[in-house]
Structure 1
Amino acid sequence: MYVGFELNKYSGVSTVLKPKADEFRQQAKGRFNELSSYLIGVFENKEVIDAEKIASHIFPTQKADIFLSHSHADEDKAIELAVSLQNKGLNVFVDSCVWGYFHELLDELNTVYAEPKYKEGRVIYDYRKATGLTAGVHMMLSGALHQMIQRSELFIFLNTEKSVPLEDYQSFDRTFSPWIYSELQFSSFVERNTPDRHLRVTNESYDGTERFIKSTAATRSDVVLAFKAFNRHLPKVTGDEMRRWYDQPVFASRGRSKAEVALDSLYEAQDLPGRYSDLERQLKESDKSKG
């Protein structure tokens, strides 16, 4: 990841027809086979599932210029933006496109590994074993998300009332999505990777010091968890500003692909590298003063 920004008040940059959106959604999806196809043996009377194979099927490795973080409730808006950016020659990773298969996997784990127990003539299911497996799946896919953020050049957070329902609550914006929490937190301390084409024109160095915030969480059906939204390192870009950039034509030039030209024109239009570095520096100075 090189830089990122937060996109606010977004209402679209182009008209995307439903067939195009559906096509993107299907192409971006992984796949999920029956659970039995991932079994690789038995160890101490326990079935062994190949977690890496599941991850590669549900969360296939893709080359992406942009990682788009968003609320699942904003999936249609995120896909519309992704398809529009494709017209600029950019590959966009939209994580919500894989969640259908992810939830199918969780459902099958609960079905297969929940243990029935009989009490007073009733069947009661113990989900402890299945819950442990689903927790492992969450960790595995969280790791896959982090790898995609690291491999992508630009991180965009689509900030809406659905992704951040609590603004400036006790000095922090808050999200109810653990996935947004995880993505924003990781993007705030991931080591920056300057593209080769920019290394030729700048010698500015960046401190890759990591900032870790530990959190433990438990979920219940009648509560909602509020997570800190680690978005202070992201410059703010409005939907109108995004549209003005989008309306400018982009052409490949000698030595640079259409995607590289599009990204560089966006960086220049919003001064993203400079603003991103300034916010990084301010946060590090704030962390030092608190320490």
Structure 2
Amino acid sequence: MYIGFELKKFNKNFFDYFDYYLNIGNEIFIKHKRIIQKTLNQFEKNDGSLNGDKMQSNWFPKINTDVFLCHSHSDKDLVIAFAGWLKDNFDLEVFVDSCIWGYYKDLQKLIDNRYSKNPQRGLDYDNVLFAASHVNMMLNTALMQMIDNCECVIFINTPNSVKPNEVVNKIISPWIYSELAMTKLITKKSLQSHRVDYINESKVFSELQIEYNLDTKHLCDLSTGDLSRWEGISLKKYNALDYLYKMKS
């Protein structure tokens, strides 16, 4: 990761052709899903255990992306359209985690059905919690790797992701909290380290809501006005990102 932004007051009204960009975004992530959408049975090893490395690599394969979008799952279509906008205008590859998280419940169900069931009592609560902790840890590790590998991270701050408070804003998604914490802790990389390879060559959550303090002081502010100015340039890929960085410096 080189830099992070916080995008506020962003909604469908930003787009002149929302459905057009949504279609582009959906095409991108259908392609991504085809890469990772493999039979869950492949995760089971010969000895009956589950292959954590294989699960991680199948869910979050090493897809080369430029921008990581952190957002509420309630804003999925909005963010996919934004990904389409970034691709159409600047030829940027974008990672949207909500297109991947749907597999969380599938794997959890697989583990519960095979390893957490008690013939007499149904699901064993302790085993379910143990399995869930492994799934969460693997996904958080994979997310950290993806954030670390992406040059630019953009947090889409909407009412769906942040609960306003008179004293302090609160986040109700543990995943958003985790991702923002990662952007603060991960060692920032130089642009050259991100681009050297380029030059050389997936309702998961329960109704329980737990609030976390929102800390975005380390992120640069990004507005829809900034996006509109950025859209007016005729640059692509890294030249487009460089223009954005200079514009916000």
- TM bucket by the smaller chain? 0.7 to 0.9
- 2:238 aligned with 1:260: yes
Aligned equivalents of 1:52, 1:80: Cα separation in 2: 31
Residues in 2 aligned to 1:197 and 1:54: alpha-carbon distance in whole angstroms: 27
Distance 1:89 1:223, change over 3 A: closer
2:189 corresponds, among 190, 193, 204, to 193
CA contact 2:112–2:123 (8 Å) conserved in 1: no
Match of 2:199 in 1: none
Give 2:184's aligned amino acid: S
Deviation at 1:60, TM superposition (A): 1.4
Contact 2:23-2:81 at 8 Å conserved across structures = no
Distance 1:228 1:28, change over 3 A: farther
Matches within 5 A, 1:3-152: 3-11=3-11, 12-15=14-17, 16-17=19-20, 18-29=22-33, 30-35=36-41, 37-42=42-47, 47-87=48-88, 88-116=90-118, 118=120, 123-152=121-150
Instruction: Assess, with a 3 A threshold, how the Cα gap between structure 1 residues 161 and 233 changes in structure 2: closer, same or farther.
Output: same
- Distance in 2 (CA, whole Å) between partners of 1:167 and 1:190 is 28
Question: Secondary structure at the residue paired with 2:49?
Answer: strand
Amino acid at match of 2:3: V
Take 2:55 and 2:208, find their aligned partners in 1: how far apart are those partners?
30
Write out per-residue CA displacement over residues 69-125 of structure 1, whole angstroms, 9 at most, x where no aligned residue: 00111111111111111120111111111112222111222222232353xxxx443
Q: Secondary structure at the match of 1:93?
A: strand
- Asked if structure 2 preserves the Cα contact closer than 8 Å seen for 1:168 and 1:174, the reply is no
Contact 1:32 1:54 in 2 (8 A): no
Change (3 A) 1:168 1:33: farther
Which stretches in structure 1 are left out of the alignment for 5+ residues?
A: 199-219, 251-257, 272-291
Instruction: Name which of structure 1's ranges 238-247 and 144-153 shifts more when overlaid on structure 2.
Output: 238-247
CA-to-aligned-CA distance 1:237-287 (integer Å, 9 cap, x gap): 11122122112221xxxxxxx31110011111222xxxxxxxxxxxxxxxx
Q: CA deviation at 1:13?
A: 4.3
Question: What SS does structure 1 have at the residue aligned with 2:101?
Answer: helix
Deviation at 1:234? 0.9
Helix, strand or coil: the match of 1:49?
coil
Instruction: Give 2:202's aligned residue.
Output: none
Whose radius of gyration is greater, 1 or 2?
A: 1
2:64 alignment partner, SS class:
coil
Higher strand share: 1
CA distance in 2, matches of 1:130, 1:197: 41
Q: Which has the higher contact order (CA 8 A, sep 6+)?
A: 2
RMSD (Å) for aligned C-alpha atoms = 2.2
CA distance in 2, matches of 1:231, 1:14: 29
Partner of 1:156: 154
Q: Secondary structure at the match of 1:156?
A: strand
- Write the distance in 2 (CA, Å) between the matches of 1:184 and 1:247: 29
Structure 2 gap segments, 5+ residues each: 195-204
TM-aligned CA deviation for residue 154 of structure 1: 0.8
Q: Percentage identity across aligned positions?
A: 32
Greater percentage in helix: 2
Change in CA separation of 1:260 and 1:145 when aligned onto 2, cut-off 3 Å: same
CA distance in 1, matches of 2:113, 2:80: 32
Aligned partner letter, 2:96? V
